Amino acid sequence: MVEQNGAGPCRATGLHNGFHPPQLSTGGRGSSAGGGSSSSGHGGMDSLHHLHQDLQNNGSPAKKCRLRRRMDSGKKNRPPFPWFGMDIGGTLVKLVYFEPKDITAEEEQEEVENLKSIRKYLTSNTAYGKTGIRDVHLELKNLTMCGRKGNLHFIRFPTQAMHRFIQMGRDKNFSSLHTTLCATGGGAYKFEEDFRTMADLELLKLDELDCLIQGLLYVDSVGFNGHPECYFFENPSDPQNCAKRPFCLDNPFPMLLVNIGSGVSILAVYSKDNYKRVTGTSLGGGTFLGLCCLLTGCETFEEALEMAAKGDGTNVDKLVKDIYGGDYERFGLQGSAVASSFGHMMSKEKRDSISKEDLARATLVTITNNIGSIARMCAVNEKIERVVFVGNFLRINMVSTKLLAYAMDFWSKGQLKALFLEHEGYFGSVGALLELLKMTDDI
């Protein structure tokens, strides 16, 4: 049961309103966290009956609250709060948190303090420490997920701050909530032992590409607070008339999905659960930031993009007109096209005259052009006309989005359409949250 008030899905994705309905057992066995089983199909009802007896007989308020949460989860076939999804990438950690807005007076009275503390901390702040950010402008409001109404929050912080995040979970006694942390991305494997030893938390590790696709389809289906999630650029080859326009991903398949994070993965997606990884490149967002740090002394992605926006890459790159004196007409190469990235840097005179901003711009253009070139070749090879670009490399990065739109349109003579999504890099974490909502609380 996943819907959004005022923003219905623009297509049927095959998902049960965003996630697969829980599988109901037809046999006599039921699994539990401890590996036990029931001897009949009524094992779940028996468990609820025993929980009810425990609730009546146990005098501890905290214990009663945990038991009531478990009873509620069992009845509604949903996990206990809090609900998180996490994507631990090579550069950034992306976290989504569902904030319930339909908490009853009874639930609020019985809610354990650390659960209240977590909700208040996450929703009343827009920054966490020096590097954690809640992207307030991306918040999805009035969602109904698993029968509960609330808002979905989007939070990010550098992966290098992961240990501080784990310590926070320990300090807030997160393990006492008996919740499951669903995590995807390479860091789900890298930091698994740290979660276990530092905070007594177990991660449910999920495939990052599965989560990416499921999360993308779900967010696109609910829309962006009454507006389409997907957009494209009209007239991308005409800078004066280029304009952002909404796009409904009706019948989205097949699509080429280009995920630009620290590196790049390119997927050919034929249905919600039929896809293949076509190829990728190590030259991605991590390359851009790493080179900018070396060349300009900047420290953050935001700083690198700010410098790039002010720079002129043609002072660094050698263009077709620098070689031919104009266009290379035989092959339709415009004189303004880059012939050699950083080609002018062979000249000491040029090196002495450029700015750090020029270097940042040239680096951004180099990485973006390479991604666009590979994506176009993959689209032609797979015979797919719709290319969807996602990933945090595109966050606040209008230079690259417009450049990708232009490259797809120009080099394909209008046959390929570049599409973009408002929630860029958060789809993996949304997919992890959807996996959590497919689970039942068997503890």
Task: Please give the positions annotated as active site.
Answer: 208
Closest CA to 188 of 163, 206, 201, 200: 206
> In which element (H, E) is residue 285 found?
helix 285-296
Q: Sign of torsion, CA 204 209 214 220?
A: positive
Burial 247-282 (b: 16+ CB within 10 A, else e): bebeebbbbbbbbbbbbbbbbbbeebeebeebebbe
Polymer length of the chain: 443
Burial class (CB in 10 A: 0-12, 13-18, 19+), 219: buried
Q: Which residues contact 432 (CB under 8 A, 6 or more apart)?
A: 85, 86, 87, 96, 182, 183, 184, 206, 211, 215
Q: Sign of torsion, CA 428 433 437 438?
A: positive
Three-state SS at 143: strand
Dist. CA 229–CA 211, nearest whole Å? 18
Q: What is the distance of C-alpha 237 from the center of its chain?
A: 29
Contact status, residue 379 vs residue 392, Cβ threshold 8 Å: no
